[in-house]
Structure 1
Amino acid sequence: MTESIQVQLKKGALDLCVLALLSRGESYGYEIASTLASAVGMGEGTIYPLMRRMQNDGLVATRLVESASGPSRKYYRLTPMGQGALEAHRRDWRSFVAAVDQLLGDQT
Structure 2
Amino acid sequence: MNAQYKKGVLELCVLSKLVEADRYGYELTEAISKQMVISTGTLYLILKRLKDDAYVETYLVESAGGPARKYYHLTEKGRTYQAAQKKEWLDFIEVVQDIIE
How high is the TM-score relative to the length of structure 2? 0.95
Kindly indicate whether residue 78 of structure 2 is the aligned counterpart of residue 82 of structure 1: yes
Question: How far apart are 1:8 and its partner, in Å?
Answer: 1.5
Aligned length: 101
What is the rounded CA distance, in whole Å, between the counterparts of 2:99 and 2:40 in structure 1? 34
Question: How far apart are 1:90 and its partner, in Å?
Answer: 0.7
- Residue 40 of structure 1 aligns to a residue whose secondary structure is coil
- 1:33 is aligned to 29
**Deviations 1:16-75 (CA, angstroms, capped at 9, x unpaired):** 101110001101100001111221211112101110110110000110111121111000
Q: Partner amino acid for 2:88?
A: D
Kindly indicate whether residue 92 of structure 2 is the aligned counterpart of residue 103 of structure 1: no
**Deviations 1:70-104 (CA, angstroms, capped at 9, x unpaired):** 11100011101100111110110011000000011
Instruction: List gaps (5 residues or longer) in structure 1.
Output: none
What is the rounded CA distance, in whole Å, between the counterparts of 1:34 and 1:49 in structure 2? 16
Report % sequence identity: 39
Greater helix fraction, Structure 1 or Structure 2: 1
Structure 1's consecutive aligned runs of 4 or more residues displaced over 2 angstroms after TM superposition are: none
- 2:63 is aligned to 67
Q: Partner amino acid for 1:44?
A: T
- 1:54 is aligned to 50
Q: Partner amino acid for 2:85?
A: H
Give RMSD over aligned pairs. 1.1
